[in-house]
Amino acid sequence: MAESVVSFVLGKLGDAFVKEVLHLYGVSGQVEKVSRELIRMQAFLKDADTERIVDERQKQWVKEVRDLAYWIEDAIDTFLLTVPEKKPGKREAIKRLFFKTKKLPAVHMLGEEINKIEARIKELEESRVRYGINNLGEGVDGESGQPVKRIVLPDVDEEGIVGFKTDRDKILSLLLDEKNKRRSVISIVGQGGLGKTTLARKVYNSGAVKQKFPIRLWIVISQKFNSIDILGKIADEFKIEPPRDFNDYDRLTKLRRSLQETKYLIILDDIWGEEFWKQIEEVIPDEKNGSRILITTRFEKVALAADPMSVPYKLPVLNKESSLKLFFKKALPNSNTNERYSDDLYDIGKKIAKECGGLPLALKVLGGLLSTKPAASWRAEMEKMDWGNDGEECSAIIGTSYDNLPFALKSCFMYFAAFPEDYEIDARSLLWMWVAEGFIPQRENRTLEDTAEMFLEDLAQRSMIQVSKRDYYGGFIKRCRIHDLLHDLAIRKAREENFLVVFPKTDGVRRLAIHDKEPSGELMASVVSNLRALWCRERLPNVSLFTHLKVLSGTTDLYEPDKFGKLSLLRYVKVRLAVYSKDKDYFGKFIGGMRFLQTLDLRGSYICELPDFVWNLKTLRHVLLPGDSLGPPPSIDLTNLQTLTGVRARESWVAQGSPKLPNVKYLEICVPKAQGGVQWDAIVTLLNTMKDLVVLYLWGPDIPLKIIDMRHFPFRCHLTNLTIFDTSRGDEDEEQRALPDYPQPPNQIVLDVGKLPKYLIKLELTNIKFREDPFAVVEMLENLRYLHLQRSKLLLRLCCSATGFGKLEELELLSLTGLEEWEIEEGAMPMLKNLDVDSCPGLRVPLGLQYLTVLQCLNWTNNGTSETEKNEIRSICKHVPHLKFWKT
């Protein structure tokens, strides 16, 4: 509601940088006065929202306060656009200029706007009394803007969700039925929030399905679909050119033939219209080989239209026992599943589960909401809830969960409206956009990104979003999505608040998402200059009109950087520059006056380096370049920088000193030339300035032991992800390297566990010349979950001891051309789920594979693997659900 907008604007006015600029130009007193009035109004807004006002005059007052908050934001942003840029060391000079000229034009304009705003505040105060909006004395809770503390890691793949076992087994029996050779369409039918997609995912990821179908495709359809785009996604799986339209017979024929040659399972998730199947049916052949289509839909008529010979599977609601179990699982996540609850708590749980009507989404969302409340208050919370009617329980419950979000989280939740339905969202980019927008308050001893991460975890705990992947290093959310019912809620709330709209709607827009086609220039010119964020999946329009833009995210190539004009308020920029240039004027047109820039994401661009003036932006927090781009200039101090990827070391670092990056957590850097080891000395100096480094990727020739020996680096107790890639010539040159006059590489090493960071979770070593078996050391890393070893001719034997690799989940052995023997003792790698062995032609089949009892997936890709060896592996690994011998 409107109080989230007011909260956001107040947070912005409290931003340290904004306060500094306002103070610098002598206008902070006027703005603080307006802020105090806005805080008073926020208290009334909270009470109005609590009372669920229905009076139209009161609703109008709430809308006018929201518009007032936007007005204040616009006035401040316009002021920041027009005042001179503060240069380092020029503060006193600007003060002298101010007192000399008495009033700068920008200061005068802001003063006039504030006078108008104050007059408007007086009008709103008078109308509030007339409309009967009274402060009930609750005011604004001091913690109202605070998310709850994360309680437990939510299930990523939803394997822990109760129910669906019987349903899954029934669907599997239909998919795996050997008697049914025709390409049948199996349908899961049910209302929104019932768990159709969750059930389909369980089936899709089952070991039996992975073994049965060499080709598995998951395609989201949703309400807005394009049949040609769907066929294009299928074509991508076969690495063939996608059809342009239904008259593109050559490509459609090629796609059909590719499907004819294999046995496939295609999941079509969330189909709404009967006409969809008619448009693609002829391209998807029936070779009578047991191929299957599995669709999820809310409508039985859609299922029957796709395959009248198959009876739709109508997914039932959860029974009372499963409903109660799921509710308590979400509401009390730290309790034992077999724990007996008090009679009172159990009785409340039964009533709540009954009101949810057996709908898993409603149970999860409501359980997530109550997990943030003391159990003693559940009965009171239950009495306040709107339970809906006529089958609308789920919508009413998720609406209640939104209303109960802290103010700051409401803006974060509405941001999900910017993404297409069922879209998998990169969490890191999302958090950076939140920071750029000013949604995230500064907390003591926390970075803004840390707080944003906590906000995202809070939404996950409340089941307002779904976690689709967590990273290896720390378990934090890497990718997420949002259920379509919650996505609809986000769109509706964002539209009500004039917060964000999806094209083609543009009226009164402050944030605009364009998912499908490029809008006309005339239409974009009609969008007001107050646009704050723009997401565009097609060609970017002329954005120079949007002077207040702070977030810009495009996924297509940008050929005309001058379109950016002078967008000095931009904080987050993600684009692909399609011009290969290091010309300063080119980047001058692109970067322009972006003096507040925080995130610059140019991955996929055709550039080789940024000019030094970009690195002088002290506001930079995250810089992601396309690879081998020149790194920061020597000795520069980038205190706020936290992410730096795709760069190479400068030769000038050797003589002039490496840059100071004290707060970088994620570093990806390469060294083009060793220069006798001197440049590696510069890298060592650089690493010695980093106390908080969590992820480190290093590329370069002849990486010395002083890099791999990390005992003395200040980040040793923080690093969780380490990748070292030696780019010197491979093992095929070992004989030449043995010659007396050939310079010997310093990296033929013996690993010592004391030299490696002890909290490593992910380790990748490529082209490292080990003198001895590295497993003897690496298996002692107690937290290691992912290990990648690649390219070595020297390794002849590996051994996993009975007590080694206690937490390892994934292991990749690639191009170990000298490897002949691998011993796996019973008890080793007790948690290993995925194993890849690729291009290890001399390796004999290890009998110890039988001890890897939880192994789910084994990919064995060795040149010359005979049928005898394949049968041996099949015999040893009967317990492995997914076993594949890839062709090379």
Residues 347, 777: Cα–Cα separation, whole Å? 55
Residues 205, 329: Cα–Cα separation, whole Å? 23
Residue 793 pLDDT level (bands cut at 50, 70, 90):
confident
Q: Would you state the pLDDT for residue 137?
A: 37
Residue 144 has pLDDT above 70, yes or no: no
Closest to 762 measured CA to CA, from 780, 789, 790, 786: 786
Residues 342, 329: Cα–Cα separation, whole Å? 16
Q: Would you state the pLDDT for residue 563?
A: 66
> From start to end of 544-608, where are the E strands?
551-558, 572-577, 599-601
pLDDT winner (highest mean) among 145-154, 233-242, 669-678, 813-822: 813-822
Residue 707 has pLDDT above 60, yes or no: yes
> How do residues 174-225 score in pLDDT, each as one tens digit?
999 989 999 999 999 998 888 899 899 889 988 888 878 888 888 888 776 7
Residue 468 has pLDDT above 70, yes or no: yes
Cis peptide leading into residue 704 (ω within 30°)? no
> How do residues 641-654 score in pLDDT, each as one tens digit?
999 999 999 888 98
Q: Would you state the pLDDT for residue 790?
A: 93
Residues 424, 746: Cα–Cα separation, whole Å? 44
Q: Which residue has the tokens 């107690």?
A: 782
Residues 411, 7: Cα–Cα separation, whole Å? 9
CB 628 within 8 A of CB 649: no
Dihedrals phi, psi of 7, to nearest 5 degrees = -60, -40
Sort 370 into a burial class: Cβ within 10 Å, 0-12 / 13-18 / 19+: buried
Q: Which residue has the tokens 């690496």?
A: 778
pLDDT winner (highest mean) among 20-24, 729-733, 826-830, 872-876: 826-830
The residues facing 184 across adjacent strands are 292
Q: In 3-state terms, what secondary structure has residue 44?
A: helix
Q: Would you state the pLDDT for residue 761?
A: 93
Q: Would you state the pLDDT for residue 647?
A: 92
Residues 61, 716: Cα–Cα separation, whole Å? 56
Tokens for 541, please give them: 């329009």
pLDDT winner (highest mean) among 260-264, 602-606, 830-834: 830-834
CB 595 within 8 A of CB 80: no
Q: Which residue has the tokens 């001399």?
A: 842
> From start to end of 48-195, where are the E strands?
184-189
Q: Would you state the pLDDT for residue 60?
A: 81
CB 266 within 8 A of CB 283: no
Sort 355 into a burial class: Cβ within 10 Å, 0-12 / 13-18 / 19+: middle
Mean pLDDT of 234-263: 83
pLDDT winner (highest mean) among 70-84, 155-169, 208-222, 834-848: 834-848
Dihedrals phi, psi of 854, to nearest 5 degrees = -105, 10
Q: Would you state the pLDDT for residue 238?
A: 76
> How do residues 76-101 score in pLDDT, each as one tens digit?
888 877 776 655 454 555 554 444 44
> How do residues 351-377 score in pLDDT, each as one tens digit?
888 888 888 999 999 999 888 888 888
> How do residues 329-339 score in pLDDT, each as one tens digit?
888 887 765 56
Dihedral angle over CA of 401, 406, 411, 415, nearest 10 = -50
Interstrand relation of 622-630 and 599-601 (parallel, antiparallel or unpaired): parallel
> What percent of the chain stands above pLDDT 70?
82
Closest to 40 measured CA to CA, from 119, 117, 116, 134: 134
Residue 294 pLDDT level (bands cut at 50, 70, 90):
very high
Sorted by sequence, the CB contacts under 8 Å of residue 339 that are 6+ apart come out as: none
Interstrand relation of 810-814 and 786-790 (parallel, antiparallel or unpaired): parallel
Q: Which amino acid is at 622?
A: H
Residue 520 has pLDDT above 90, yes or no: no
Sort 487 into a burial class: Cβ within 10 Å, 0-12 / 13-18 / 19+: buried
Cα-Cα-Cα-Cα dihedral sign, residues 335, 340, 345, 347: positive
Residues 599, 480: Cα–Cα separation, whole Å? 20
Dihedrals phi, psi of 716, to nearest 5 degrees = -55, -35
pTM of this prediction?
0.84
Residues 660, 636: Cα–Cα separation, whole Å? 6
Mean pLDDT of 257-286: 84
Closest to 570 measured CA to CA, from 585, 588, 587, 553: 553
Residue 498 has pLDDT above 90, yes or no: no
Sorted by sequence, the CB contacts under 8 Å of residue 591 that are 6+ apart come out as: 564, 597, 613, 614
Mean pLDDT rounded to a whole number for the chain: 81
List the end-to-end C-alpha distance of the chain, in Å, as a whole number. Answer: 58
Q: What is the DSSP string of 793-847?
A: SS--EEEE-TT--TT--EEEEE--TT--EEEE-TTSSTT--EEEEES-TTPPPPG
CB 455 within 8 A of CB 415: no
Q: Which amino acid is at 658?
A: S
Helical spans, DSSP H, in 404-549:
407-414, 427-437, 448-461, 484-496, 521-525
* Coarse DSSP helix, strand, coil percentages of the chain, rounded to the nearest 5 percent: 40, 15, 45
CB 829 within 8 A of CB 799: no
> What percent of the chain stands above pLDDT 90?
28
Interstrand relation of 477-481 and 425-426 (parallel, antiparallel or unpaired): antiparallel
Dihedrals phi, psi of 28, to nearest 5 degrees = -65, -35
